[in-house]
Amino acid sequence: MTKLNSYETIYILKPDVSEDKNLDLVNQYKQLIKKNGGQNIFVQHRGRRHLSYNITHYYDGIYVQMNYEGNGNLIKHLGKSMRFNSNIIRYLIIRQR
């Protein structure tokens, strides 16, 4: 069995995303993480915040933080899924020590 690394992912949703769509996305990503061998998933909704600079004509966004354990293959799938999601304006995946 391979050792799992700890990761933190923060993504910013467009400010006009509804609460229901936000929860759907969170559940979708939790399922993706579980399906690809991730575990110990902890999600925090950081709420709407003003962006330091505008990103594709948006001045604020809805922040969501996820902490979990997984492997590199999981990160590849998660990154690709977030890159092509039209509701996400930015995301960052960090491996924690």
In order of their start, the domains of the chain are 5-96 (3.30.70.60)
| Measured distance CA(34)–CA(32) in Å, rounded | 6
Q: For 11-31, what is each residue's pLDDT tens digit?
A: 999 999 999 999 999 999 999
- Nearest Cα to 49, choosing from 16, 18, 12? 12
What pTM does this model have?
Answer: 0.90
- Nearest Cα to 90, choosing from 7, 9, 12? 12
Query: Which residues are paired to 62 by β-bridges?
Result: 13, 48
Q: For 47-84, what is each residue's pLDDT tens digit?
A: 999 999 998 899 999 999 999 999 989 999 999 999 99
